[in-house]
Amino acid sequence: LSEQFALVDGLVGDQPEAWDVAGALPRELLAKLGAAGILCAEVPAAFGGLGLSCGANGALTAHVGSHCSSLRSIMTSQGIATATIRRFGDKGQRSRFLGELTGGQLAAVAFSEPGAGSDLSAMGTSVVSEGDSVVVTGEKKWTTGARYADMLIVFGLDEHGLGAAVVVPVDTPGVHLEPVANPLGCRAAGHANVRLDAVRVPASHLLGGGGQALGMLFTTALSYGRMSVAWGCVGIVRACLDAATRHAATRTQGGVPLADRQLISRHLADLLVAEQVSTQVCEHAARSWTAGSPDQAVAAVLAKHVSAGHAARSAATAVQVLASAGSQDGHVVARAYRDAKLMEIIEGSNEICQLILAEHALSLAR
């Protein structure tokens, strides 16, 4: 992965602070990373992708996440979009849309609605076939990356009440984006609320012809998203560990480096434990995914839940160690503090993850 790491390092540099403060990522950066296949690196070479394994894509995601969670969020959305197209698209759809997405175009993924957050079964967006077209009507909220996207993968229900995922170019008449103002974290990730007013797209945009079980659509998309967020959290923890150890080793108070204070060294130990545990649980999930294990969906939930919790606690710890040195908007630990909290909400909140894990625990006990 050294080539991909170097490309990311070269293009990102020390700019995430400025992107966070400005609340925007440069479009040319996204186009370059997209065209280099970095944003959806698991897509096979046959579709123009890098064909990375789940574990290697995770390592790349963590690396991007250690620099900038806003950029990593774009990577997660692009990855969910391509995973959905790979799983549900027919041959022609895979060839066309995956080719576009490995060629530099961007996709955002729209599940959540004002009335359907944790409970996606309450989704009300309709995807109705009319001759050679599909008409999409509904409202989506907090769609990451929508402000930069060329296409949206919109999830909804067809006329029979079955699930449907449809590719909607954002310049189609009837698509209205309203940027989410002043998000708590991932401020440059381009979140937008989306209104779809009888948006008409060709029937060839309905993945696999529609008619899938809604739960199956969500499980595929969310499992990818959970893995990606989990690795992104590993990146956050690594950035916090790095910032806190450097600071504690060099900042002197009372005539000694902070690292010589036992209360501070305990923080450093906690950060190291968080980094190790998060990495291990993500690697376990990647192995389950690659092996096609029946537990792969639960392993993804476990990885996301554990890593997001460690990221949130590690960010708070790192801010504590750096104190005023890390207490300004844009600083790596200040960003981590705000960004990591949101990781406990997305792709299944803490509570939803706990419900799934508890159900799994009960199934094992039966």
What is the three-state SS of the chain?
Answer: CHHHHHHHHHHHCCCHHHHHHHCCCCHHHHHHHHHCCHHHCCCCHHHCCCCCCHHHHHHHHHHHHHHCHHHHHHHHHHHHHHHHHHHHCCHHHHHHHHHHHHCCCCEEEECCECCECCCHHHCCCEEEEECCEEEEEEEEEEECCCCCCCEEEEEEECCCCCEEEEEEECCCCCEEEEECCCCCCCCCCCCEEEEEEEEEEEHHHEHHHCCECHHHHHHHHHHHHHHHHHHHHHHHHHHHHHHHHHHHHHCEECCEEHHHCHHHHHHHHHHHHHHHHHHHHHHHHHHHHHHCCCCHHHHHHHHHHHHHHHHHHHHHHHHHHHHHHHCCCCCHHHHHHHHHHHHCCCCCCHHHHHHHHHHHHHHHHC
74 near ligand FAD (CB under 6 A): no
Q: Sketch the per residue contact string, 20 through 39, with ligand FAD: x for CB under 6 A, - otherwise.
A: --------------------
111 near ligand FAD (CB under 6 A): yes
Q: Closer to ligand FAD at the Cβ: 117 or 257?
A: 117
- Give the CA-trace dihedral at 199, 103, 143, 208, to 10 degrees: 50
Residue 262 CA, chain-centre distance (Å), reads 36
Q: Which of residues 150-169 bind ligand FAD (CB under 6 A)?
A: none
Q: Closer to ligand FAD at the Cβ: 51 or 117?
A: 117
CB of 267 to ligand FAD, least distance (A): 27
248 near ligand FAD (CB under 6 A): no
Q: Which two tokens stand for residue 20?
A: 């966070």
144 near ligand FAD (CB under 6 A): yes
CB of 276 to ligand FAD, least distance (A): 26
Q: Closer to ligand FAD at the Cβ: 261 or 338?
A: 338
Applying CB under 6 A, which of residues 4, 61, 69, 77 lies at the interface with ligand FAD? 77
Phi, psi for 198 (deg, rounded to 5):
45, 55
Q: Which of residues 168-227 bind ligand FAD (CB under 6 A)?
A: 186, 191
Q: Closer to ligand FAD at the Cβ: 124 or 202?
A: 124
Size of the residue set binding ligand FAD (CB under 6 A)? 19
Residues paired with residue 154 on neighbouring β-strands, in sequence order: 110, 166
Applying CB under 6 A, which of residues 61, 66, 102, 112 lies at the interface with ligand FAD? 112
CB of 41 to ligand FAD, least distance (A): 19
Q: Sketch the per residue contact string, 323 through 352, with ligand FAD: x for CB under 6 A, - otherwise.
A: -------------------x--xx--x-xx
Applying CB under 6 A, which of residues 109, 192, 243, 301 lies at the interface with ligand FAD? 109
Applying CB under 6 A, which of residues 118, 253, 280, 328 lies at the interface with ligand FAD? 118
Q: Closer to ligand FAD at the Cβ: 48 or 163?
A: 163
98 near ligand FAD (CB under 6 A): no
CB of 345 to ligand FAD, least distance (A): 5
Stretch that binds ligand FAD, among 10-18, 110-118, 165-173, 287-295 (CB under 6 A): 110-118
Residues that bind ligand FAD (CB under 6 A): 77, 109-112, 117-118, 142-144, 186, 191, 342, 345-346, 349, 351-352, 355
